[in-house]
Amino acid sequence: MAHVVTRLCQENKDTACVAVCPVDCFYVAKSPTEDLPDRLYISVSECIDCGACIEACPWQAIYADSDVPAQFADDTPLNARCDTERDLFDKAVNEPKSPPSPEEVAANKTKWGL
């Protein structure tokens, strides 16, 4: 099993998860597009299912692949693209930010239908 970054990361990219990942399995699109948005992606082939990223994500955007909410089902194959189309991605780098407020997290979830 691997983990999936959902669209809750989109427009709110925070790399706190990158800082705790023991295998550096996070990626970003080199040139974000509508079908490859500016957000984080997890390599399915590199993720060791440790779960550290779930707790570290201030936007609550990461789920175990078996727990991805139905409305985010398209995010699972989107994450897999960093394995199948590696030339479109760069390794993510930790860039510390101030965490969002609980109200910002709740508003983001509502925005995406969660």
pLDDT digits 0-9 by tens, 47-99: 999 999 999 999 999 999 999 999 999 999 999 999 999 999 999 999 999 99
User: Is 12 a domain residue?
Assistant: yes
pLDDT digits 0-9 by tens, 10-40: 999 999 999 999 999 999 999 999 999 999 9
Q: What is the mean pLDDT of the chain?
A: 96
CATH of the domain at 63: 3.30.70.20
Give residue 107's pLDDT. Answer: 97
User: Is 63 a domain residue?
Assistant: yes
| Global pTM exceeds 0.85 | yes
User: Is 104 a domain residue?
Assistant: no
Domain containing residue 59: 3-95
User: Is 48 a domain residue?
Assistant: yes
User: Is 70 a domain residue?
Assistant: yes
Helix/strand/coil (H/E/C) assignment for every residue in the chain:
CCEEECHHHCCCCCCHHHHHCCCCCEEEECCCCCCCCCCEEECCCCCCCCCHHHHHCCCCCEEEHHHCCHHHCCHHHHHHHHHHCHHHEEECCCCCCCCCCHHHHHHHHHHCCC
Count of structural domains within the chain? 1
